[in-house]
């Protein structure tokens, strides 16, 4: 059997390497495309039953666009109806021309929360904003619901047994008072378990969602007005700094000048002071 020549073998190796690199490049491209999405992770409530989810979105936009985007999100919630979405709170703060911070708190049906958040992020991107952060929290209520059902069932069974004993006319009167006390206690346990289960189901049935809008982290780009304002602010800061430096130097000029004077003419000054203030020589007559 004749072995392939060296050029043919080298060509086969190069083709295989090129195919491998092409495959790696394709995987890297697909990974980058998947990671470039700015919406929340694709998690549906059906994938985690009995979990009370909370969504927190943080958007960065230009100051002039925050109010309009916030109004669009509120209008989208109102369009779903009160049974599917409710507005729980609205905040809008403006400080100067270029800084705005706002919030919108919503309560949504769990089955539409994920899509609503993704659509809200798309609205921000359409306004040339960015989604800076998404936090999805969840608290599993399965244990609470299971404990509530088990406690309710146990208390119900005991309550029915006590009620049957009390209904029996053969039960002595001396025992009835104790049975009534136990029956009241079992009814309290049953009501408490029912309240715990109702509270857990209420948490699962409503998904809180919060949108935070801010100019923090937003790059506004170049505009002549903003650039001129920034230049004036820098110039004013520089002038204030120079004036402060001049005042400090003026305050230090006198003591520094005296120190230099003493250093340069210290000996002559000391002799002059000695002649002026020192004791006079006494001339003794012969």
For residue 228, what are the domain limits?
A: 222-276
The number of domains in the chain is 3
Cα–Cα distance list, 152 to 43, 147, 180, 187 (Å): 32, 8, 19, 9
Cα–Cα distance list, 272 to 100, 133, 227, 275, 278 (Å): 70, 78, 63, 5, 9
Residues 186 and 86 in one domain: no
Answer whether residue 12 is part of any domain.
no
**How would you classify residue 205: left for phi > 0, otherwise alpha for psi between -120 and 50, otherwise beta?**
alpha
Answer whether residue 153 is part of any domain.
yes
Residues 52 and 192 in one domain: no
Residues 125 and 264 in one domain: no
Residue 36 pLDDT: 39
Residue 87 main-chain phi, psi, to 5 deg = -85, 120
Answer whether residue 81 is part of any domain.
yes
Residues 68 and 131 in one domain: yes
Residues 171 and 193 in one domain: yes
Answer whether residue 24 is part of any domain.
no
Residues 112 and 210 in one domain: yes
Residues 73 and 168 in one domain: no
Residues 71 and 132 in one domain: yes
Residues 162 and 235 in one domain: no
**Burial of 39 (C-beta count, 10 Å sphere; 0-12/13-18/19+):** middle
Residue 98 pLDDT: 81
Each residue's pLDDT expressed in tens, for the chain with a length of 286 residues: 444 444 444 444 444 544 444 444 444 434 333 333 445 556 555 567 889 999 999 999 999 999 999 999 999 999 999 999 999 999 999 987 789 999 999 999 999 999 999 999 999 999 999 999 999 999 999 999 999 999 999 999 999 999 998 898 888 888 888 999 999 999 999 999 999 999 999 999 999 999 999 998 655 544 555 556 667 778 888 898 888 888 988 888 878 877 777 777 667 777 777 777 767 666 655 5
SS3 state of residue 92: strand
SS3 state of residue 108: strand
Residue 6 pLDDT: 47
> Which tokens hold the place of 16?
């295989």
**Burial of 203 (C-beta count, 10 Å sphere; 0-12/13-18/19+):** middle
Residue 28 pLDDT: 42
CATH number at residue 90: 3.30.70
Residues 57 and 126 in one domain: yes
Answer whether residue 33 is part of any domain.
no
Residue 255 pLDDT: 80
Residues 122 and 161 in one domain: no
0.85 cut: is pTM over it?
no
Last residue of a domain, one of 187, 214, 241: 214
Residue 92 pLDDT: 96
Last residue of a domain, one of 162, 186, 214: 214
**CA pair distance 64, 66, nearest whole angstrom:** 6
- Residue 48: which of 131, 147, 114 has the closest Cα? 114
Residues 61 and 138 in one domain: yes
């Amino acid at each position: 059997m004749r072995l392939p020549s060296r050029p043919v073998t080298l060509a086969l190796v190069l083709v295989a390497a090129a195919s491998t690199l092409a495959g790696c490049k394709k995987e890297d491209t697909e990974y980058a495309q998947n990671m470039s999405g700015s919406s929340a992770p694709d998690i549906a409530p059906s994938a985690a039953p009995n979990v009370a989810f909370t969504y927190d979105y943080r958007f960065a936009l230009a100051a002039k666009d925050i109010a309009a985007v916030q109004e669009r999100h509120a209008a989208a919630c109102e369009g779903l109806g009160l049974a599917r979405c409710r507005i729980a709170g609205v905040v809008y703060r403006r400080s100067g021309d270029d800084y705005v911070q706002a919030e919108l708190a919503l309560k949504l049906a769990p089955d539409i929360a994920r899509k609503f958040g993704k659509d809200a992020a798309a609205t921000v991107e359409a306004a040339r904003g960015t989604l800076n952060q998404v936090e999805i929290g969840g608290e599993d209520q399965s244990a609470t619901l299971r404990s509530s059902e088990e406690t309710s069932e146990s208390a119900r069974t005991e309550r029915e047994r006590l009620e049957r004993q009390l209904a029996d006319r053969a039960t002595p009167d001396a025992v009835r008072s104790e049975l009534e006390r136990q029956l009241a206690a079992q009814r309290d346990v049953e009501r408490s378990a029912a309240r715990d289960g109702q509270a857990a189901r209420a948490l699962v049935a409503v998904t809180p969602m919060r949108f935070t809008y801010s100019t923090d982290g937003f790059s506004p780009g170049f505009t002549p007005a903003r650039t001129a304002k920034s230049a004036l602010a820098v110039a004013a800061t520089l002038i204030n700094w120079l004036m402060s430096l001049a005042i400090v130097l003026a305050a230090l000029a006198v003591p520094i000048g005296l120190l230099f004077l003493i250093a340069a003419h210290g000996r002559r000054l000391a002799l002059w002071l000695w002649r002026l203030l020192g004791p006079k020589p006494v001339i003794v007559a012969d």
